Every structure is written in structure tokens, then in C-alpha cells.
A and B are shown apart, each in its own frame.
Chain A
Amino acid sequence: MPVAPLLLPLLLVPLCAAALLGLVGDRRFAPRINILGSAATFAASLGLAFQVHARGAFMAGGTFFFVDALNSYLAVLTAFVSTTTAIFSRRYMRREREHGRVGHVGMRFYHAMFQLFIFAMLLCLLTNNVGILWIAMELATLSTVLLVSLYRTPKAIEAAWKYFILCGVGIAQALFGTVLLYFAAERVLGEGGDALLWTNLSRVSGQLEPTVLSLAFVFLMVGYGTKVGLVPLHNWLPDAHSEGPTPISAVLSGLLLNVALYALVRCKALVDAATGTRHAGNIMMGFGMLSILVAAFSLLRQKDIKRMFSYSSIEHMGIATFAFGLGGPIATFGALLHLLMHSLAKSSIFFTVGHASQMHGTQEMARIRGLFKGNPLVGWGFMFGVMAIVGLPPFGVFTSEFLILTATIKDAPAAAPLLLLGLTVAFAALFRRVQPMVSGDAPPWQQSLTAAHLPVILHLVLVLAVGLYLPPFLNDWFQTAVGLLK
């Protein structure tokens, strides 16, 4: 079968944009190329989703790529958030540039690596080969390491070093898991690249050796779990997400964590099918619950605004991991919806947080005041973003959390009080902080700024819309994806 016409541009556009932006460098129109490239990727991803909708799951490029409801959904989400982030980053980075926090070389590097990062994530999602998935995941880490240290402050360098080393070690465990998986698969499927294809593996999952797969899953869990930021493997995450430029925080929190979780979920479905037990799911539930609780209580102690929302990301990834581990149609549906809602809400929060800290020249929450008066868009955007992320109705996060909680009460009643506790603590911790930041008079150190309206409004409207009314096509899409993960 020839390469599906829309798959090729989806991967080639970000790759070419990365090369082009590397050549163009720090010119006036570089941000526009960045936006156009991302928008073209988004258009291609939509086209791909329509193809999947029309034809069902298919392979492309021989057996190299594989597209189904699950990964096309995440590809669309990735391309969408990267587009809005590119729009946000134009204004945001211009200001950083004016304030001398980043220079010529830095800007060139920033734009090129942003696109390379998008490419790596899309490759992760669309590849059919478990080995290539690993390589792309490592590429996604490597392309963002030097973006985290872009400002060259001691803290930024420390954060990037931690990110590099801890994720490197983590992902090495995943490679060992992949080797074990190949070892088991090779005995059934024969040698060569075919033994590492998702499509082949899921076909023969019943014949794979359960002992090897259980062991492989432990390594895969530790490896990809590090990238998802699950407790106790999360140490790098708050640092990397808080010290880098804000657009990068938005895509790291909103997208990279999803992609890592996607890898884990695919592995889990395979391992549970092979062992015929709930072994893998239980491990995920354990890690997920621990992440929810630890992150919720850590939220209480934060002083840095971006750091606080990084912990909130850990909490939400914990919820999704827990729900995927729990399995069953409702929990899996809830988890898929939760990934979508979290990505949109969290990146919009990072957009407003980025502007708020630029206005005050600090990320310290104690010095951020009077956002409503200072800049209504930033203030209200931030307020609504936080309302969405803590799961207040009618925002979409409420719907997904409600579904997950319902499934928990039904299938794992013992975990339900803990889940509720985590959600409540996180709710209280975030709200306590937000009130003083948005209300009151603008402090004298506050500066005015022109905020990027579109990304914030677009994300929040989408989160609200899905909360009020889940369109049938989205419902069908998720149902198909749930069917794949049975």
C-alpha cells in the first residue's frame, strides 16, 4: 500500500519547518513561519483523522506507519495545541527577546527545536514500530533539553541537566523493556523488524510468553512512566516545566506527557492480553494513585506559579494513568476525554501564566497581584483556566473526572475515597492561590502588555463546549478508541 497522502505531509511539514527555521534564524518573519508550519501540520492531521473515520484503521508506508482512532486523535490534539502555542509564542518570545533574556542564536534554536519536537511527538504517535517509538521519544527529550536551559540561568541549567539525566536513565529502562518485548515476540513472529510492529504484536498477543512480558512491562512502566512524570519518577518534571520558556512548558505539559502515556497504554493493552491478568493495569493504577496524592499535597507548598501548575500536570496525568489502568469502557473513555481536556486547559493556563509573570517580572506567586485590573484577558483567562482544571462544572474536566470517579466507585470502590481526597486537596490548593493573584489593585511593579488573545479563548471555549455538549462525532471517535484498548 502506498503511503497515505496525508500522512507524509503530517510528518514532513514539521521536519522541513525545523530545517527552514534553522536557516532563517532570528528574522522578523520567523515566528510566522512557525505558525504557518504548525497550522499546515494541523490541517494534515485533520485530513488524516477524516481518512481514519472513512476507512477505519490502516497501515501506511508499507508497514511502517499505523493509524487508528487512538493515535489519530492524539495526533490532531498535538498538532492543534502546537499551532496555538506557536501563535502564543510569537508575542511572548518577542517580549522575552526585547528584555534580553534570549539572544539571536537562542531564537534561531528555539524555533527550529520547537518544530523538531512536534515532529518527534508525531512520529512517536504514528509509527507502527515499538523500537522507532522509543527512538522518537528520546528525540523528543533531546530536542527540548536545550530549550529548557534556553535562558542560561543557573536554575535553568540545573533543571535541564536533571531533565537530560533523569529522562535519559528512565528511557533507557524502556529500551530494556523493548528488548525483552522483542525477545518474546521474535519467538512467535520470527526475526526482523516485523516482530516489533504493533499490528503484528496485537495479532499474536495471546501467544507471547507471559513471564517475559510481565517483566518487560515493569521496565516499560518505569521508562515511559518517567516521561509521563509519575511519582516517584517525577523529580525532573516540576523543574523542567518551570524553568524553560513558557511556550515550552505549555507543550511539555500539554503534549509530551500525553504521548508518553500513549506508549504506556499501548504496552499495557498488549501485556494484559498476553498474560490474561490485570497485572499491568494494577501497576498503572498504583502509580497513578500515588501521583494524584503526592502531587495534590505538593500543590499546597508551592511558591512558584509555573512549578505549581507542573504539579497539577502530575496530578492529572496520575488521574489518566489510574483510569487507563482501571480499564473498562467508562474509565477508558473518561481517560481519553481527560487527556484532551487537560491538554487544552493546562496549555491555556500556561499561556496566561506566562503573560502574568511577564507583567510582574517574576514567577513568584506572592508578587503577582491584581490581574483583573492589570489585564482583564489575562486575569479572566487565568481564572477560568483554573476553574476548568480543578474540575468545576460545566467545564469538560468535570465530565471526564466524573466518568472516572463513577467507574472507580463501581470497579474499585476502595480507591474512590483516595481519588476524591486527591481531587479535593488539589481543588483547595489551587483556589487558595488564585484568588489573591487575580483580585485587588495592580501593584506598582506591574507592567502592561499586549496578550495573545486567540489561543487562550479558543482553548477555554473548547473545554467549555465539550463540558456542555459532547458532539456525537467525538463520542464515536472515543468509543472506537476505547474498543481498541479492550
Chain B
Amino acid sequence: MSLELAAKINSFLAALVLLTAFAMLAQRRMKGLIHLFAWQGLLLSVNTAIVGFVASRHHLYISSMLTLALKVVLLPYILHVLIRRLRIHREIEVVVNIPMTMMIGIGLVVFSYQLTAPIIELSTMVTRSTLAVALATVLIGLLMMITRRHAVTQVIGFLALENGLFFAATSATYGMPLVVELGVALDILIAAFIFGIFFFHIHATFESLDVEQMAHLKEHD
């Protein structure tokens, strides 16, 4: 595969990642959200494998497989089981309305390009232009966590944010050293179990997963 072709594929995949990030901002149904998250994971996994092939960095194949197993299969599966067990189907309530959220999202993309411009100039890698998209994905994940009230959506926002970080690592540096990638994957796995336990605790205590109810701990005047 030629470098130019790889760069094009990489840009195309970056565009798709950004698209899934925006689709997640707009998605109101919980199941749809989990599917989008799985798709985003798949795009990342494919992208990592391609970068690994073109740049002949074989450790990227391992992180590609890891992404596939963790973010496309395991995490969406866990989330599916949880929402079925806890009977969460209803639409997600949003704090800020969706068109407004999308506008803020666009603003974040522009901001990301602005912020990473000096770095992109320095780099000689084929994948460098996607760093801005990666940062935008991180910020959109953050936005999602702020604008949604549901505990499950907040967790999906967090995982999407982590996807953005992973994307940044593969596009800016051909992936972090393997030992770091493995450790990060382990941390995410532990975090997945913890939020699973949490959902049950929150559900049992508050009888719903709406985090708006959790407002006891405020400063008293």
C-alpha cells in the first residue's frame, strides 16, 4: 500500500470517527448510543491496523486486536447486559437541547484544529492531520458527559473520550509503547467492572440512573 493511499484512508477513517462522535451527541436512544460506540471502536481498530501495516509497526496489530476485543465486543456487550438488567430503554434526557449541543460540538472541532496547528506543522508523519480530529473527539466526549443526565450516557461519553485519546496516540505517534497500551487497556477493563457495580448501586439507592437526583452534596450557605 502506498503512503498516499494510506494517508487518504486514514483521513477518511478520521472523518468517520468524527461523524460517529457527532452522531452520539445527537442520539437519544440508549441502544443506538451503544451501537455507535461499537462502530467507533471498529473504526479505531481498522485504522490502527492500517497504520501498523503501512508503518510496519507490528505492535500496533496487538493494540488493534485489543481495541477490537475490548471496545467493539466486550464493553458494548457489558453495557447491553446492564441496560437490559436494569430495564433502561427510555429516551435520554438532555440538559442542553440537541441542536445547541451540535453547534458547541462544531465550535470544539474548530478549536481543536486551532490548538493542534503548531504541532501538525512539526510532524512528518502521514497520519498527522488526524490529531485535530482526535482532540475534537476527546472534547466531544467531554461535552457529552456534561450535557447528559444519565449515568450510562456519562459512562459512554467517558469511553468515547478515551477512544479519542487512543486515536490521538495512533495518529500523532504511531501508538504509545506497548506496555503503556496494555496498562491503559487493563485500567479501562477495571473501570468497566466498577461502573457496572456502580449502576447497580445507584439503581438500588436512587431507583433510577438519572444523575440529577444526586445533588445532596452541595455547599450549604
Q: Chain A: residues with CB nearer than 8 A to chain B?
A: 129, 131-132, 134-135, 138-139, 142, 145-146, 149, 152-155, 157-162, 164-165, 168-169, 172, 175-176, 178-180, 182-183, 186-187, 191-193, 195-196, 209, 211-212, 215, 238-239, 243, 298, 301, 303
User: CA of A152 to CA of B197 in the docked complex: distance in angstroms?
Assistant: 12
B220 touches A135 (CB 8 A): no
B119 at the interface (CB under 8 A from A): yes
CB-contacts of B163-221 with A (<8 A) = 165, 168-169, 172-174, 176-180, 183-184, 186-187, 190-191, 194-195, 197-198, 201-202, 205-206, 211, 214-217, 219-221
Measured between beta carbons, the chain A residues less than 8 angstroms from B205 are 152-154, 157
Contact of A176 with B217 at beta-carbon distance under 8 Å, contacts A183-B173, A193-B177, A212-B122 already known: no
Measured between beta carbons, the chain B residues less than 8 angstroms from A178 are 176
Contact of A196 with B180 at beta-carbon distance under 8 Å, contacts A176-B138, A179-B173 already known: yes
Measured between beta carbons, the chain B residues less than 8 angstroms from A157 are 198, 201-202, 205-206, 214
Measured between beta carbons, the chain A residues less than 8 angstroms from B57 are 191
15 residue pairs A–B, Cβ–Cβ below 8 Å: A131-B183, A134-B180, A145-B194, A149-B198, A161-B151, A161-B198, A161-B211, A164-B198, A169-B158, A172-B161, A179-B165, A209-B122, A212-B119, A238-B217, A239-B217
Contact of A176 with B165 at beta-carbon distance under 8 Å, contacts A132-B180, A183-B173 already known: yes
Grouping DSSP codes into helix (H, G, I), strand (E, B) and loop, the B interface class, with mixed when no group exceeds half, is: helix
- Which residue of B158, B162, B179, B197 is within 8 Å of A131 (Cβ)? B179
Measured between beta carbons, the chain A residues less than 8 angstroms from B216 are 154-155, 158
B217 touches A168 (CB 8 A): no
Other A-B contacts than A212-B119, A238-B217, 16 sampled, CB-CB below 8 A, are: A135-B180, A138-B187, A145-B194, A146-B194, A152-B205, A157-B198, A158-B217, A161-B202, A161-B211, A169-B142, A176-B135, A179-B173, A193-B177, A193-B180, A195-B177, A301-B219
Binary contact readout B103-126 vs A (1 if CB under 8 angstroms, 0 otherwise)? 000000000000100110011000
Number of A-B residue pairs having CB atoms within 8 Å of each other in the complex: 133
Number of interface residues of B (CB under 8 A): 48
B197 touches A146 (CB 8 A): yes
User: CA of A161 to CA of B149 in the docked complex: distance in angstroms?
Assistant: 13
B198 touches A160 (CB 8 A): yes
Question: Which of A155, A175, A193 is most buried by chain B, counting CB atoms within 10 A of its CB?
Answer: A175
- B120 vs chain A, min Cβ distance (A): 11
- A56 vs chain B, min Cβ distance (A): 27
B138 touches A155 (CB 8 A): no
Measured between beta carbons, the chain B residues less than 8 angstroms from A152 are 201, 205
Q: Would you list the 7 A-B pairs with minimal beta carbon distance, nearest first?
A: A131-B180, A135-B183, A193-B177, A158-B214, A138-B187, A239-B217, A183-B172
Measured between beta carbons, the chain B residues less than 8 angstroms from A154 are 205-206, 214, 216
User: CA of A238 to CA of B217 in the docked complex: distance in angstroms?
Assistant: 9
Q: Which residue of A lies closest to B182 (CB)?
A: A135
Contact of A211 with B118 at beta-carbon distance under 8 Å, contacts A139-B190, A243-B217 already known: yes
User: CA of A215 to CA of B119 in the docked complex: distance in angstroms?
Assistant: 9
A211 touches B183 (CB 8 A): no
- A198 vs chain B, min Cβ distance (A): 14
Contact of A172 with B183 at beta-carbon distance under 8 Å, contacts A139-B190, A179-B165, A193-B177 already known: no
User: CA of A165 to CA of B162 in the docked complex: distance in angstroms?
Assistant: 13
Q: Which residue of B lies closest to A238 (CB)?
A: B217
Measured between beta carbons, the chain B residues less than 8 angstroms from A169 are 142, 145, 158, 161
